[in-house]
Amino acid sequence: MIAADAIVKCLEMEGVEYVFGYPGVAIDPFFNSILKTKIKTILVRQEQCAAHAANGYARITGKVGVCAVTSGPGAENLITGIATAFADSIPIVCFTGQVDSKLMGSDVFQEADISGACESFVKYSYIVRDPQEIPRIVKEAFYIARSGRPGPVLIDLPSDVQMLKMNGFDYPDEVKMRTYRPTVEGHTVQINKVMKELSRAKRPILCVGGGVQLSGAKEAVVAFAEKHRIPVVCTMMGIGVMATDHELFYGMVGNNGQPCGNRAMNEADMIIMAGCRVADRSFTQPDLIMAGKVLVHIDVDPAEIGKNAYPSIPLVGDIAHVFEAFLEQDLKVDTTDWLDTLNGYRSLGRNQKEAALKLSLKTKSRRTGVMPAEFVRRLSLSMDDNAIYVADVGQNQIWSCQNVDIRNGRFLTSGGMGTMGYAVPAMMGCRLAAPDVQAVAVCGDGGFQMTMMELATMKYYGIPCKIVVMKNTVLGLVRQHQHFVYHDDFSMIDIGAYPKLDMLAKAYDMDYLKVEDNDHMQEKIDAFLKDENSVLMEVMVDPAETV
């Protein structure tokens, strides 16, 4: 048994189904060894997409996603994918080939110090020098990736080390790390404090973030909100924790959120933040929002607590554990009046939106194409209840998160890093993770072109896909920024009308649909969702449309 055999053996022990990757001489021993296993490999078209696909796979299965690429340029291309996973705390393990260990540091062909380059956006990294360490390293890597606050772990594999003989193979049953021990259980004293404050609160609100999904705490969090009738708002990464149409859900907060959600935060007297990091896009001025309120901040990562906001009750722990503990406690919370107020805000918001929609539809001569907000609403309402909606980055993302309707499904996007091109490869990962679940990638024409080469990968492996491209021939979010800030002094925003998406769809043997106006929107959406083949839907959007 050589070291490469040992690595893939470890992957089998970890229950790995898929490895997304791209080969090269430095990682060839690894891919050669994988032939002897049942692990399936997915050869992508560019390394970044391997990391995004592993990301999508991890988010849907709750398992660790795995990718493997070669040294130098291969590893460097992976960087954006690693940073994207880090920003959203997604558990992936990335293997990179490395040059011969004796040549490392001498700038040989295809050498890059990848562990050095990624240091600030991996949770941990290893350079394997002794093959006997492999079982321990891989065991630790998977554990670090998925435990505590999840994140990417990098394992750099010099090519000669992969070929060395193993003196036996013993995969450890448990991780023995002297230094890494995340706090999972919430502290009882802090939990009791939260309960005490909650029983006093008149206007409590629960703000949920991506950490709730990561910890698998959705059921516990919803049960807690329902038990005490506490209203819920979410951050972008927390969309889908609560069904959009749930009576206790009041929308997304932040500068791209719904007015109703933001108003609820402003007027609350107690805020419980669960699994969100009080990030700049959700809370532009945390001090102002938190002033005079009881703030509870629950997160598994102690460093997030007190970084952007200063909670009155910090509570370190895994969201699932903490909310299970909350549920065990009995207390009386009366939120009837508070919910009445919020319901008023919510219907006001809905009425305003309806009115705006009607007005826009009447005055459609002003803008060409489709109303993106209405398109997203109709698309998501027509999708299956458990469907996966993958939003790319840009205006399409903001339209999506403001208008998407998620019942029992998932909403995925690159929230922290805002990586354009995330949606198509991530959706590929989702399709492999849950082949029977409907999944749709919604992109703009900018982001789509960053990773559209993966259409070939999906065709090759027979993975049917549904892709929406909102086409406005500009980089819309940047255009919008320059419209407001530079008063239409536009720079670097025109990307033109190419490629012709009908011909592109044909090139990849995909079906093609085009939505040019609001009138035919629904029938096209229905045809799109019903199609069993891979299908590309081009949605024409006016370049001057803003979010």
Partner 1 sequence: MEEENVKKKLNKKTFQLLVDNTSGVLSRISGLFARRGYNIESITAGVTADPRFTRITIVASGDDDILDQIEKQVRKLVDVRDIRELKPEESVYRELAMIKVRANAEQRQSVIAITNIFRGNIVDVAPESLMIEITGNSGKIDAFLRLLDGYEILELARTGVAGLARGTEHVVYIP
Task: Tell me how far, at minimum, the Cβ of 106 lies from partner 1, in Å.
Answer: 17
127 or 393: CB nearest partner 1: 127
Task: Tell me how far, at minimum, the Cβ of 316 lies from partner 1, in Å.
Answer: 10
Site membership for partner 1, residue 312 (CB under 8 A): no
Measured CA to CA, the distance from residue 257 to residue 236 in angstroms comes to 8
Measured CA to CA, the distance from residue 391 to residue 59 in angstroms comes to 14
Site membership for partner 1, residue 119 (CB under 8 A): yes
Task: Tell me how far, at minimum, the Cβ of 180 lies from partner 1, in Å.
Answer: 5
Q: How far is CA 195 from CA 208, 224, 337, 530, in A?
A: 18, 12, 20, 48
Among residues 10, 16, 134, 144, the one that binds partner 1 under rule CB under 8 A: 144
Among residues 136, 187, 229, 307, the one that binds partner 1 under rule CB under 8 A: 307
Task: Tell me how far, at minimum, the Cβ of 128 lies from partner 1, in Å.
Answer: 11
First to last CA, the chain: 57
Site membership for partner 1, residue 484 (CB under 8 A): no
* Helices and strands (H and E) in the chain: how many: 22, 18
Task: Tell me how far, at minimum, the Cβ of 420 lies from partner 1, in Å.
Answer: 23
Q: Which stretch binds partner 1 (CB under 8 A): 52-60, 113-121, 457-465, 487-495?
A: 113-121
127 or 161: CB nearest partner 1: 127
Site membership for partner 1, residue 115 (CB under 8 A): yes
* Cβ count within 10 A of residue 446: 26
What are the φ/ψ torsions at residue 59 (nearest 5 degrees)? -70, -30
* Cβ count within 10 A of residue 461: 14
73 or 302: CB nearest partner 1: 302
Site membership for partner 1, residue 127 (CB under 8 A): yes
Site membership for partner 1, residue 184 (CB under 8 A): no
Site membership for partner 1, residue 301 (CB under 8 A): yes
Q: Count of residues binding partner 1 (CB under 8 A)? A: 17
Task: Tell me how far, at minimum, the Cβ of 119 lies from partner 1, in Å.
Answer: 5
**DSSP class per residue in 461-518:** TT---EEEEEE-SB-HHHHHHHHHHSTT---S-B--S-S-HHHHHHHTT-EEEEE-SG
The single residue listed with the structure tokens 């489709």 is: 370
Measured CA to CA, the distance from residue 25 to residue 182 in angstroms comes to 37
Task: Tell me how far, at minimum, the Cβ of 115 lies from partner 1, in Å.
Answer: 7
Of the candidates 384, 495, 386, 390, the one whose C-alpha atom is nearest the C-alpha of residue 450 is: 495
Q: Which stretch binds partner 1 (CB under 8 A): 25-33, 90-98, 177-185, 364-372?
A: 177-185
Site membership for partner 1, residue 435 (CB under 8 A): no
* Cβ count within 10 A of residue 104: 18
Task: Tell me how far, at minimum, the Cβ of 471 lies from partner 1, in Å.
Answer: 38
Measured CA to CA, the distance from residue 497 to residue 377 in angstroms comes to 25
Decide: 91 and 64 in contact? Cβ < 8 Å: yes
Site membership for partner 1, residue 461 (CB under 8 A): no
Site membership for partner 1, residue 313 (CB under 8 A): no
Give contact residues for partner 1 (rule: CB under 8 A): 115-116, 119-120, 123-124, 127, 144, 177-180, 301-303, 306-307
